[in-house]
Amino acid sequence: MANGPIGLIGLGIMGKPMARNLLKAGHKLIVYDIVPQSVDEIMTAGAEGARSAKEVAEKCELVFTMVPNSPHVKAAIFGENGVSDGIKKGALVVDMSSIDPGVSREVGVGLKEKGVRFLDAPVSGGEPKAIDGTLAIMVGGAQADFDEAKPIFDAMGSAVLCGDIGAGQVTKLANQIVVALNIAAVSEAMVLAMKSGVDPDLVYKAIRGGLAGSTVMDAKAPMMMDRNFKPGFRISLHIKDLQNALSAGQNTGTPLPLTAFAMEIMQAIKNDGHLEDDHSSMVHFFEKLANIEVKRTANS
C-alpha cells in the first residue's frame, strides 16, 4: 500500500500546503476539492486531479481528508460520490480535520462495517506550520494503522498516537483550549502594557524567554503589534473547535469555564466583523475594553 498513490480530499488553507509537502516528499498524490481551481493549482504542482471523493477512493488505498467540520467529513466520506462509495475493503482512511470526537467514532464504526480502517488525525500549527511541514499531528486509532500512515505523516509534521479512535480529536480540543486562552492572556497583557505607556514589543522581548514565553506568544504577539490579522487560523474555525470542546465537556460532565469565556470573547469578535480574521484578532476585544490599540512605539 505504501507504494501506491495517496488520496487527499480537501485543499483549503491547510490542505494545499500539506499536498505540496507530500509531493515534495516524492509521494504520488490524487486530489479532490469542491473548488475546481484548488484542484488545478495542486495539479500544477504535480498531483493528479479527481472529479469526486469517490474517484479518489477508487484509485487509492490510503485516503486523507482535510475539511472544515463534522458535517463536511460525513459528506466527504458517506455522502453522494463520497469515499465510502469507492473505497476498497482493507483500505485506510485518515481524517485530519478537526471535528467532534463522537463524529470521529461514528465515522470509524461506519467504515469498519465496510471493512475499511480509520484514523482520526487532527493537526495543530495553522498555515505556517502546514507550509513548513512541522504540524503537530494527534492521532487516534490502532497502532498498526498508525505505523502504516506514519511515513506519510512525517512529510507533514510530527505525529503521536494518543489512543483509540476519537483520542486524536480529544487531544486537538485540549490543544485548542490552551491556544485560545494563551492568545487571550497575551492580548490582555499587551493591552495592559500599551495602556501603561510601556512599549508592548519590549515587554514581549523581555518575557518571551521566561516562563510566560510560548509558541503562541511568539506567533501571535508580533501579529497583534503589526496589525496583521491575515488568517493563519480563522476565528470562525476556532469558534467551531471551542463549540466541539464545550460539547465534549457536556458529554463527559467536564466543566470548562475558561473555555466558555474564550468562546464569549470570540463571539464578541465575530459580532465586530472579525470572523474570518486570524485568531490573534482576539486582541480587539481587550483593546475595545481599554480604548487603546496595541502597536510598537517608535523606540522599539
> Is the pLDDT assigned to residue 179 strictly greater than 80?
yes
Residues 12 and 160 in one domain: yes
Average pLDDT, rounded, for the chain: 96
Strands 92-95 and 48-49: unpaired
Alpha carbons 285 and 281: distance in angstroms, whole number: 8
Task: Based on the fold, state whether residues 83 and 22 are members of the same structural domain.
Answer: yes
Residue 299: per-residue pLDDT: 62
- Residues 142 and 174 occupy one common structural domain: no
- Per-residue pLDDT at 97 exceeds 60: yes
Last residue of a domain, one of 164, 186, 208: 164
- Residue 17 sits in which domain range? 6-164
- Which one of 172, 230, 270, 295 is the catalytic residue? 172
Known active-site residue 172? yes
Q: What per-residue confidence (pLDDT) applies to 271?
A: 97
The answer as to whether 151 is a domain residue is yes
- Contact between residue 98 and residue 244 where contact means Cβ atoms under 8 Å apart: yes
Q: What's the pLDDT tens digit per position in 63-95?
A: 999 999 999 999 999 999 999 999 999 999 999
Return the pLDDT at 248: 93
Q: What is the per-residue pLDDT for 1?
A: 46
pLDDT over 70, % of the chain: 98
Single out the residue in 148, 164, 180 at which a domain terminates.
164
Picking from 94, 129, 164, the residue at the C-terminal end of a domain is 164
**Within this chain, do residues 157 and 263 fall inside the same structural domain, yes or no?**
no
Average pLDDT over residues 148-171: 98
- pLDDT greater than 70 at residue 137: yes
Identify whether residues 275 and 232 lie together within a single domain: yes
**pLDDT higher at 126 or 193:** 193
Is 297 domain-assigned? no
**Same domain for 82 and 143:** yes
Do residues 147 and 49 share a domain?
A: yes
Same domain, 174 and 122: no
Is residue 285 scored above 90 in pLDDT? yes
Overall domain count for the chain: 2
One domain, residues 174 and 148: no
Mean pLDDT of the region 45-59: 97
159 plus 185 within the same structural domain: no
Q: Inform me whether the pLDDT recorded for 3 exceeds 80.
A: no
Percent of the chain with pLDDT over 90: 94
Q: Is residue 298 part of a domain?
A: no
CATH of the domain at 269: 1.10.1040.10
What is the model's pLDDT at position 130?
A: 95
Over range 246-269, report the average pLDDT.
97
Q: Is 299 within a domain?
A: no
Q: Same domain, yes or no, for 160 and 174? A: no
pLDDT confidence band for 232 (50 / 70 / 90) = confident
Separation CA 75–CA 253 (nearest Å) = 29
| Whether residue 188 sits in one domain with residue 74 | no
Check which CATH number belongs to the domain holding 87 and give it: 3.40.50.720
Alpha helices in the chain (DSSP H): 15-24, 36-44, 53-59, 70-78, 83-86, 101-112, 126-132, 143-153, 167-195, 200-207, 215-226, 235-252, 257-271, 283-290
> Is this model's pTM higher than 0.85 or not?
yes
